[in-house]
Amino acid sequence: MIELKTPAEIQRMHVAGRFVAEVLSEVGQLADVGVNLLDLEHHVRGMIKRCGAESCYWDYAPSFGRGPFRNVICLSVNDAVLHGLPHDYTLRDGDVLSADLAVSVDGWVADSARTVVVGTAAEEDLRIIRATEEALEAAIEMARPGNRLGDISAAIWAVAHDYGYPVNTEFGGHGLGRTMHEEPHVSNKGRAGRGLTLRPGLTLALEPWFARTTDRIVYDADGWTIRSADGSRTAHSEHTIAITEDAPLVLTRREPEDTVTRGDSTSPLSTKDA
């Protein structure tokens, strides 16, 4: 069942969305050479607690995971792209970090992801990040009443195709609202003019993610972390959006000056100068 949200309910989701945007901006600022993923995880736990929000990931136990997820943010490095389980890993110069966060505030959910480069950025890493960001913006532009779900999927695929990146269809976007995952599923590849007709009140998490040279994935032994099958680097961009009578409303938009490169100043979590 697809639940359309009222304008008042969308505004409540927007409260959660602004908080998610704030957390992901701070994670990007803190991600630096010498920072441990577990320190980022615990920093985000503190932000969630102080806000009075609830993590949508804690105790999440889908069919593909190994036991309940016992962290509040997904942190995926380099060839890892989805569901990265925070672990004892210290970020290195040139690492690509994808951070994915979903929280509930007063019973309403927002979900977003972004990818940054730690320290020295290779052009090929910036390129794949740009591709996911452009695909996300193209998808958002198609999220208008009267369009079809396939128009969103086709827009994502077209950007990937232009960049020369293959597209995996096992994991994609989704509806959300009162819970993190609702209908419909939003594939990152599809045909324009097909699928569900978009209506005002539909709220979606759109999340293009690409690997450089493969559309196949493998799982880590932890049962959660998903990597490109050939070890090529990856990127992931996601926003929660609401379809309105007018333009699509992005509920998790970050500040414009927020960038994808980090490491020009020492993070308070860094141990590189210790």
Residue 256 counted as domain residue: no
Tell me the average confidence (pLDDT) per consecutive run of 10 residues in the chain, 274 residues long: 96 98 97 98 98 96 87 98 97 98 98 98 98 98 98 98 98 97 97 98 98 98 96 98 96 82 65 52
User: Domain span at residue 98?
Assistant: 7-250
Is 26 annotated for ligand binding? Answer: no
What is residue 67's predicted lDDT score, i.e. its pLDDT? 84
Residue 262 counted as domain residue: no
Nearest Cα neighbor of 168 from 116, 115, 212 is 212
Nearest Cα neighbor of 131 from 165, 83, 155 is 165
What is residue 260's predicted lDDT score, i.e. its pLDDT? 76
Residue 115 counted as domain residue: yes
SS3 category, 239: strand
> Cα–Cα–Cα angle for 240, 23, 269, nearest 5°?
150
Is 79 annotated for ligand binding? Answer: no
At 148, which CATH number? 3.90.230.10
**Contact criterion met (CB below 8 Å) for 69 and 76:** no
- DSSP labels, 110-153: EEEEEEEEESSPPHHHHHHHHHHHHHHHHHHHT-STT-BHHHHH
Residue 221 counted as domain residue: yes
Q: What is the pTM of this model?
A: 0.94
What is residue 65's predicted lDDT score, i.e. its pLDDT? 81
DSSP lists the bridge partners of residue 257 as none
Is 181 annotated for ligand binding? Answer: yes
Residue 270 counted as domain residue: no
What is residue 272's predicted lDDT score, i.e. its pLDDT? 56
Is 95 annotated for ligand binding? Answer: no
The DSSP element (H or E) to which 191 belongs, if any, is none
What does the DSSP 8-state code read for residue 238? B
What does the DSSP 8-state code read for residue 232? -
What is residue 1's predicted lDDT score, i.e. its pLDDT? 86
Residue 117 counted as domain residue: yes
- DSSP labels, 88-117: S-B--TT-EEEEEEEEEETTEEEEEEEEEE
Is 236 annotated for ligand binding? Answer: no
Number of domain units in the chain: 1
Residue 267 counted as domain residue: no
Residue 271 counted as domain residue: no
**Contact criterion met (CB below 8 Å) for 166 and 101:** no
CA dist 139 and 160 (Å) reads: 12
